[in-house]
Amino acid sequence: MDEFEFEDFEFPEEEEIEGEDSEKLKEIYKLAIKLLKLLEDLKSVELKESASLMLIRELIGEDKVLLGLASKMLQDISLGYDKENYVS
């Protein structure tokens, strides 16, 4: 498996996204689609799995409510109830 050296990685400057929530949601969706395509293009299954788990951890962070929602969603998906609405 290829090893990724985080020490060699340079984090890009954070750019501020201006505008309404709808504009920010459009940007989030666009970036999410790009991330998913990049994940699909990874040849190593191990890298794909670890990158996916890393993204989930970064998204959830310390938010206990989001952790609960994500756990419920994953449980529903594994049981075949993946058509639930998780938005309040």
Report pLDDT digits (tens) over 28-61.
Answer: 999 999 999 999 999 999 999 999 999 999 999 9
Q: Of how many residues is the chain composed?
A: 88
**What is the C-alpha to C-alpha distance for residues 12 and 77, in angstroms, rounded to an integer?**
34
Q: With H, G, I as helix, E, B as strand and everything else as coil, classify residue 21.
A: helix
DSSP 3-state of 75: helix
Compute the distance between CA of residue 43 and CA of residue 3 in angstroms, rounded to an integer. Answer: 13
- Give the pLDDT confidence score for residue 38 in this predicted structure: 93
Q: State the Cα–Cα distance between residues 4 and 23, nearest whole angstrom.
A: 33
Rounded to two decimals, the pTM is: 0.64
- Dmax (CA) for the chain in angstroms is 42
Sequence-distant (≥ 6) Cβ neighbours of residue 24 within 8 angstroms: 17
